[in-house]
Chains A and B, each alone.
Chain A
């Protein structure tokens, strides 16, 4: 029971991070029908931005309150990562809109290589460890010397994720920008005819996806305390799996999928074998795409001739 509870807590934490990244995939796919392959690396870059500014605040500027530093770091990471993804969309994807179908995907794969190698060149190939922050835990249940605990970090991740998702939900459902996004998703040409600035909406979609990825990056950094230039690929693919599992194009689906992937991964490594946990995630991706391509909450794709 304690182990189960512990895995549940860990899984939800991991799943929150995946869910935040997955939203970026699902929004971009919904609006321009493209798998933004570089999104995992955008997430990795955001973790690096967070790491650099956290270090700057704590060691150089001497900010003593960790919470204040984390909040400031998160906001800076959101802004800068948003800027980065805006620039990427402008340079690498927008010129290819309306081009043949594989071109944006190849361009995105190229961008993914560029991002990870740029970080490797600029920041060096070694792991970047941070001193532990928020290291306290709360014991929930204890028996036979095994305690199920929840750490302050995990609470932080849950709270931040929940608050951001609520805010994000409000933006998409209630604001003019969200309405424009949903309109572009349904029919880009018609939205343009009705006065929606499609290019701007798509740009903002990339910025929003990147901002959520930056939150995930900051949380990932605080949770694991270490980041490496190659950390973008595997979380990226898992988040994509989450987006597909939840039904690509569906925002609640992305969060649900993220939580499920997080839970499956932790339970798999808790009860079966930690070696094969990535195999489990990749297998789910393949199985879902093959047998249930519309996902849990997505709409089935109708093939028109």
Chain B
């Protein structure tokens, strides 16, 4: 917090805080007045006309003034007091509770994830469960997998990659093109998409070996955009912005098909009522297993020399080199492995949607994945998963908030606020916890007992 903010406003008095709040209100009026108060709309002649919404501006300015006043008079002083007060040392019970929580959280979560579709079907029936399994379960798990994949590059190796969506796109288009043109099965193309994406990871990784920090981020962003622009413009291969449609569905290892017309359709063979819910539940378990594979590989790699080299690279690249670690190989393996999991997720995405277009691989998508990794706490598997649930699930949940229509009128569409709230959450979480939700580090090597290292003790290198 800035020094001016941690003290209780100018003068420290109520009058000072009020003056400060009024000033904030004036600033808010200047910013929101024209942009919210004067809405421009096209009339029938395609001319812009202005409609005014001063009531809305008054509400926003009022909220800003009240919020600022509350912050300076109560919240910041309270936070300062909390910080100054010595925290009582945790009792033995608390310590034991935390240790138990840490030990049981992951297994409990896993069990929940495995019974989640069954629960949904049990409570809501096959049709009712569709939305919760598909929009929430599968959607969140795709981002969990992408987050874990990118976590290898950003969280472990400390290389900020803003173009991760490129590998996702490579995976998706590999499956889409090879499946529609050559009719190859998903189970053959899944590893192939991963390998192709990994090769792209190495290709794009090579030129950026010397770059670090912000520059690396910007170059990877440029690569991501180049791949998207090529997908748009290379119409002969990719069909441009129209995208590739009717991508075949995934089969149940070739035994059952989920195509309605196929003779070995799952529902037909088992004599069940036709429903798309079986396919969605199958997809749910598939992406769950793929995500768990990512997690498993990452956790095992952390214990191998290459994983330790990644983390050493993140902490201090120069020290790494002085100790004889081959930073070229270390970086390239991180890029390749991260890209490979992105490719897996991409081919799954293409099969699930049945349609891919460059629209799905914009920079925003990369930003969302990076946000999940950083907000979760770089390097923490649980943190990344929690961040994906909070950010993707939370914003998906907005689509469901129909009661808001009753509050704000019929024309109110909560969906359009999804990304706005996402962005605000990114900023607020960064201010509140710059190192993410789970910032403590778990060492892989320890002398007698495994203790997590508080983030305040970890110094980030410039890597």
Of residues 85 through 119 on chain A, the ones whose CB sits less than 8 Å from some CB of chain B are 86-87, 90-92, 94-97, 99-103, 105-107, 109-115, 117-119
Whether A126 contacts B42 by the Cβ 8 Å rule is yes
A216 to chain B, nearest CB (A): 18
B203 within 8 A of A: no
Residues of A within 8 A of B1 (CB): 95
B306 within 8 A of A: no
Of residues 1 through 51 on chain B, the ones whose CB sits less than 8 Å from some CB of chain A are 1-2, 4-5, 27, 30-31, 34-36, 38-42, 46-50
Distance A80 CA – B160 CA, assembled complex (angstroms): 33
Of residues 234 through 249 on chain B, the ones whose CB sits less than 8 Å from some CB of chain A are none
Of residues 411 through 463 on chain B, the ones whose CB sits less than 8 Å from some CB of chain A are 416-417, 419-420, 422-427, 430-431, 434-435, 460, 462
A220 within 8 A of B: no
B66 within 8 A of A: no
Provided the pairs A106-B371, A131-B47 are in contact, do residues A289 and B211 lie with their beta carbons within 8 angstroms? yes
Whether B40 contacts A51 by the Cβ 8 Å rule is yes
Q: Which A residue's beta carbon lies closest to that of B459?
A: A100
B184 within 8 A of A: no
A239 within 8 A of B: no
Distance A114 CA – B427 CA, assembled complex (angstroms): 9
Interface of A is mostly: helix
B370 within 8 A of A: yes
Instruction: Return the CB mask of A19-53 against B: 1 if under 8 Å, else 0.
Output: 00000000000000011000000000100110111
Residues of B within 8 A of A283 (CB): 222, 226
Whether A118 contacts B420 by the Cβ 8 Å rule is yes
Q: Which B residue's beta carbon lies closest to that of A34?
A: B214
Instruction: Return the CB mask of B384-424 against A: 1 if under 8 Å, else 0.
Output: 00000000000000000000000000000000110110111
B233 within 8 A of A: yes
A71 within 8 A of B: no
Whether B214 contacts A56 by the Cβ 8 Å rule is no
Whether B35 contacts A49 by the Cβ 8 Å rule is yes
Whether A199 contacts B2 by the Cβ 8 Å rule is yes
Whether A285 contacts B218 by the Cβ 8 Å rule is yes
Whether B363 contacts A233 by the Cβ 8 Å rule is yes
Distance A90 CA – B233 CA, assembled complex (angstroms): 41
Contact among B4, B50, B208, B371 for A110, CB-based, below 8 A? B371
Max chain A Cβ within 10 angstroms of own Cβ: one of B27, B160, B217, B427? B427
Whether B422 contacts A113 by the Cβ 8 Å rule is yes
Contact among B31, B229, B233, B367 for A84, CB-based, below 8 A? B31
Interface of B is mostly: helix
Instruction: Return the CB mask of B205-225 against A: 1 if under 8 Å, else 0.
Output: 001101101110111011101
Whether A286 contacts B426 by the Cβ 8 Å rule is no
B364 within 8 A of A: yes
Contact among B48, B210, B434 for A55, CB-based, below 8 A? B48
Residues of A within 8 A of B35 (CB): 45, 48-49, 52, 118-119, 122-123
Distance A83 CA – B213 CA, assembled complex (angstroms): 29
Whether B420 contacts A282 by the Cβ 8 Å rule is no
Distance A240 CA – B162 CA, assembled complex (angstroms): 15
A128 within 8 A of B: yes
Distance A199 CA – B2 CA, assembled complex (angstroms): 9
Residues of B within 8 A of A113 (CB): 364, 367, 419-420, 422-423, 426
Whether B318 contacts A122 by the Cβ 8 Å rule is no
Instruction: Return the CB mask of A115-140 against B: 1 if under 8 Å, else 0.
Output: 10111111110101111000000000
Residues of B within 8 A of A51 (CB): 40, 48
Whether B34 contacts A49 by the Cβ 8 Å rule is yes
Residues of B within 8 A of A106 (CB): 370-371, 374-375, 426, 430
Contact among A56, A103, A114, A285 for B420, CB-based, below 8 A? A114
A38 to chain B, nearest CB (A): 10
Write 7 A-B pairs (CB below 8 A) sorted by A numbering: A80-B30, A96-B431, A105-B160, A109-B367, A112-B423, A114-B427, A303-B318
